[in-house]
Amino acid sequence: LPELEPRIFSFNAPYGACEDCKGLGIKLKIDEDLIISDRDLSIKEGAIIPLNNNDNNIFFTILEETCKLHNIDLNKPIRKLSRSELDIIFYGSKEPVDIKYVSKNGNVRYSTEYYEGIVTNLERRYMETQSGWIREWIEQFMTELPCPTCHGARLNSAVLSVLINHKNIYELT
């Protein structure tokens, strides 16, 4: 812990802010319920909004091959899929799949890919993009949750370890 001074007790300063949430006290996380339009629809029928009902892209091709590998029926309504099947669809698979992708203009590409999952893909794209439009589009599928590190206190653990009468600054204020 650095020497105690007022600036370390502020979540607005990098000295005191939680490293995980940068002093916001919240984290945005993809919410599965927000990416599903209708649990009575199947993936092939457009149940998952971010897929844009577009089955002619490389991401969907990798999803299809991963589902074939794991015997997941893309024509089955979402609510009839098991939790383990949904976990593969949303969070990916550790097994690589061989794919043959034919683009709209007829080009053919063969490769071996890992399927990262819809939720994982959206989270990665949210962190990597420089586009405000893409960030805003992905945020429609996100929910604010208390930061898992500071639990909403907005301050780092070192600052929260400073106690007055057995209470830290967050508990006092």
> CB–CB of 150/27 below 8 Å?
no
Q: What is the pLDDT of residues 74-87, one digit of tens each?
A: 999 999 999 999 99
Q: For residue 146, what pLDDT band results from cuts at 50, 70 and 90?
A: very high
CA–CA distances in Å: residue 126 to residues 14, 30, 44, 105, 162: 23, 10, 25, 29, 35
| Phi, psi of 23, rounded to the nearest 5 degrees | 85, 10
pLDDT of residue 109: 85
pTM listed for this prediction: 0.76
- For the cut 70, the answer to whether the pLDDT of residue 54 exceeds it is no
pLDDT of residue 55: 63
**What average pLDDT does the segment 2-19 reach?**
83
- For the cut 80, the answer to whether the pLDDT of residue 160 exceeds it is yes
CA-based R_g, the chain, Å: 22
For residue 171 the two structure tokens come to 């508990």
Q: For residue 143, what pLDDT band results from cuts at 50, 70 and 90?
A: very high
Question: How buried is 94 (Cβ within 10 angstroms: 0-12 exposed, 13-18 middle, 19+ buried)?
Answer: exposed
Among positive and negative, which fits the CA dihedral 120, 126, 131, 135? positive
- Residue 44 is given by DSSP the state T
- Mean pLDDT in the chain? 90
pLDDT of residue 90: 96
**What average pLDDT does the segment 99-128 reach?**
89
Tell me how far apart the alpha carbons of residues 109 and 75 are, in angstroms, rounded to a whole number: 25
Q: What is the pLDDT of residues 24-53, one digit of tens each?
A: 999 999 999 999 999 999 999 989 999 876
**What average pLDDT does the segment 111-138 reach?**
93
**What average pLDDT does the segment 101-111 reach?**
84
pLDDT of residue 53: 65
